[in-house]
Amino acid sequence: MTVARSGGPGHPASCASSGFTLVELLTAIAVLAILLAIGIPSFRLYLLSSQRSAASTQLYGALAQARSEAIARNTEISVFPRSSGADLACGSSDQDWNNGWLVGASCDQDFIAVFDAVGAGVSVIPATDITRVVYRASGRTSGNVCFMIEPDSEKLQPREVSTQLSGRVSLRETDTPCAG
């Protein structure tokens, strides 16, 4: 059996070269740059939207849990803003709702639930200067409380987490959070 070769004596069997030409490489880089220019702002907006949703859902859950625990334990349960740092503390001068929050009967007892700080692109802003949200044994609060969860982008609406005197917690997306 004889095998035919493409080239004669002294010629290589294949002359094909591999790799990209400079024009192909520059075209691929240009297409990649265009895709990144379009995708990065959209991805940032997606991340902010996720952080806003997580912060508002966690605050809603903490308030609902505090109400449920107050009724179940037949005692006052509060949601406190968490102090900065790694310590699980409340009641100090550096309280900030952006640091997270704690659910418990008081600052000097074990906490029922601990929530970490919100993302860097989101702010949790109470409508009034409050140091805690108190649920009575009946599940009612001493007053209406409203928080604005505000993303660091004008393209996303803030969310409102609020309580009524009855203790009912609500969460909504709105142009005018905590407006009244």
CA dist 58 and 10 (Å) reads 76
pTM: 0.76
- Tens digit of each residue's pLDDT (9 = 90 or more) over 70-129: 999 999 999 988 877 666 666 555 568 888 898 998 877 678 888 888 878 899 989 888
Give the C-alpha distances (Å, rounded to integers) separating 140 from 48, 107, 152, 179: 33, 20, 33, 22
Residue 13 confidence (pLDDT): 54
